[in-house]
Structure 1
């Protein structure tokens, strides 16, 4: 049975990677160069990485994912379904329809048009009003909330969900031995609910709250999570979390901190420490940083050039063990998952 499970997993993930990687390669052919016409060619400072090691890191991600499944940390993904295939085709068509607009912003280095959309709306901090990734609508539109998953999967060649599952595995280890019905979970910067769906596939009775600053993404998350009555989606900022002290036994945060300015990272860390109970667990999943995997350092330098990420360079140098240590957490685990780093912290008692 284990061999059958492995074969099914390999076939499904292989097909998924082929689907998204082919779109990535097509998008690269359609899009223009990273550099604007007339600008000097961007040259990263890091030495060129070993492509063999990069492929190994990619394959290791799926090997670890499969180990976690076999260890019972979470179920195998159900990626190959007719309705999902139809949805994938529709999302792919929308992605390529939007690609020329994204490419135009990238060539013009214009990642701030969303500020005009939200002009006069005091709900959003200034750092948030960016077209991160040069995506249409930034975080503020219904179309962006629906298209985001496809954009990210294409960017990472079909590895994004697998990287998130490694964070889910870390959470599962952190709450092991506890009745899931007694673990109040906060997913911070929960977006359109993608990671919460993975959590609920593993822990269908866990009481969970998603927090995100985008009303459009919150609405999309509510639609996706409507089958779980114990799940609530709240609109708000992590650095001003609208929760009482010690409200949660566990918290997760996936792909937020690289989009926060340094000062806001510290505010967010303090708020997370405030809302997580002493002894509670916090799982942070975000981009790897400089030095985590030398063969990938060059790729990290390209990221803020090819995609609008104004705070990414400072993120690469941030010491998160120290940052969360100052806020009251101890680091329990540090795990690399291809382009993602997963860190699990425990709130001091």
Structure 2
């Protein structure tokens, strides 16, 4: 297949996911308003802002394509979509919606099934983030999570995750004298393992590690990661505020979609821990939501996000200074990027 045809196929593939996500949100919102109406506190989005969002999405997909052409990862990763998981779990998404609507309407933010153990977790973690059933603490939640996030972002979640791969690969050149098999990379709050799967495509020989608070999500991650070639990443249940690793152990650390779901104190504690475990000369890369400082024109959408979904710490996150937090921990030469609805901070530990 020619590059032009492959690119057109990729663009069509992403466009199809985008339309599907929009259709799902439109239909589900109308059903919610009929079955379980709630007070609407969201702000209408001006047409000009919608055009900005569409252009940002187009730019994201172009960068995604170009990184595959530069050899950061293979073209096959662009089409990484499990149809088996889709047909298996999409009906569950619909069956679960009435519970989500009821939870949102009654502001039940710590509503867990009887079989879910909530003891021993930080209080900020025992939440029904996004109003989702069982928060992050059940197999049902873990099975539906990736599909729900893809729908939320119109099929662009993986493309946003992949934006960490180019700076990760490029900054590991600092350790050019280290054999690839001896490189160690940690993904903090690895969830279902989607980011580690992408990292494996870029660093096929490195030793990969992941931590997460949720046993259910770690089970899902093990299931996903055991199916791909290469050494299976080492996964541990751990609080990211107390990482169970030696000082200066990793050549790079990543974290994707974590910090907007943390109170400020926990954000700083985790950044401090990431500084501790990364080697001098190593890199810490954050991918998370855009903030007002880098995307002021999208501030109405940010407000709508925490009004629509249960995101108890997002309002503070919107204006939090992550660069200052990284500098406070000791990181230097901090670069920021914005792609679509996500921002990236690439921070370096002094050599």
TM-score by length of structure 2 reads 0.91
Indicate whether 1:62 and 2:64 are aligned: no
Equivalent residue number for residue 24 of structure 1: 25
Q: Is the 8 A contact 1:245 1:275 kept in 2?
A: yes
What SS does structure 1 have at the residue aligned with 2:306?
helix
1:255 paired with 2:257, answer yes
Gap change, CA 1:120 and 1:105, over 3 Å in 2: closer
Structure 1 residues 224-303: aligned runs within 5 Å: 224-226=224-226, 227=228, 228-303=230-305
Structure 1 unaligned segments of length 5 or more: list them. none
Task: Report the Cα offset of residue 78 of structure 1.
Answer: 4.6
Counterparts of 1:170 and 1:27 in 2: how far apart (Å)? 37
CA distance in 2: counterparts of 1:44 and 1:12, whole angstroms: 31
Q: CA deviation at 1:260?
A: 0.7
Contact 2:213 2:237 in 1 (8 A): yes
The reply on whether 1:136 has 2:133 as its aligned counterpart is: yes
Structure 1 position 254, deviation (Å) = 0.3
Instruction: Decide whether aligned partners of structure 1 residues 79 and 85 sit closer, same or farther in structure 2, where only a CA change above 3 A counts.
Output: farther
Consecutive unaligned residues of structure 2, counting only runs of 5 or more, are none
Superposed CA deviations along residues 3-25 of structure 1, whole A, max 9, x for unmatched, are 23322322322233233332232
- More displaced, 187-196 or 292-301? 292-301
CA 309–198 in structure 1, closer or farther in 2 if over 3 Å, else same: same
Q: CA deviation at 1:237?
A: 0.8
Secondary structure of the structure 1 residue equivalent to 2:124: helix
- Is contact 1:49–1:295 with CA below 8 Å preserved after alignment? no
Counterparts of 1:91 and 1:331 in 2: how far apart (Å)?
42
The number of equivalent residue pairs is 344
C-alpha deviation, 1:69, in angstroms: 1.2
Contact 1:205/1:230, CA 8 A, preserved across alignment: no
Check 1:102–1:117 CA distance in 2 against 1; reply closer, same or farther (3 A cut): same
1:90 to 77, 80, 88: 88
Give the secondary-structure state (helix, strand or coil) at the position aligned to 2:24.
helix
Alpha-carbon offset, residue 171 of structure 1: 1.5
RMSD between superposed Cα atoms in Å: 2.4
**Length-normalised TM-score, structure 1:** 0.91
SS of the aligned residue for 1:128 comes to coil
**Pairing of 1:177-192 with structure 2 (within 5 A):** 178=176, 179-192=179-192
Question: Retained in 1: the 8 A contact 2:10–2:78?
Answer: no
| Structure 1 residue aligned with 2:169 | 172
> Map of 1:13-162 to 2, 5 A cutoff?
13-32=14-33, 37=38, 41-42=40-41, 44=43, 50-78=49-77, 84-114=82-112, 121-122=119-120, 124-162=121-159
Q: What SS does the corresponding residue of 2:328 show, helix, strand or coil?
A: helix
Residue 36 of structure 1 and its aligned partner are, at CA, apart by 6.6
Instruction: Report if the CA contact (8 A) 2:42-2:307 is conserved.
Output: no
1:188–1:210 CA contact under 8 A, matched in 2: yes
Tell me how far 1:92 sits from its aligned partner: 1.3
Structure 1, 278-287 or 195-204: larger mean CA deviation: 195-204
Q: Which moved more, 1:227-236 or 1:263-272?
A: 227-236
* C-alpha separation in 2, matches of 1:46 and 1:8: 31
Looking at structure 2, the residues matched to 73 and 214 of structure 1 have their Cα atoms a distance apart, in angstroms, of 30
What residue is the counterpart of 1:206 in the other structure?
206
* 8 A contact 1:333–1:344 mirrored in 2: yes
Q: Is the 8 A contact 1:12 1:79 kept in 2?
A: no
**Counterpart selection for 1:314 from 305, 313, 316:** 316
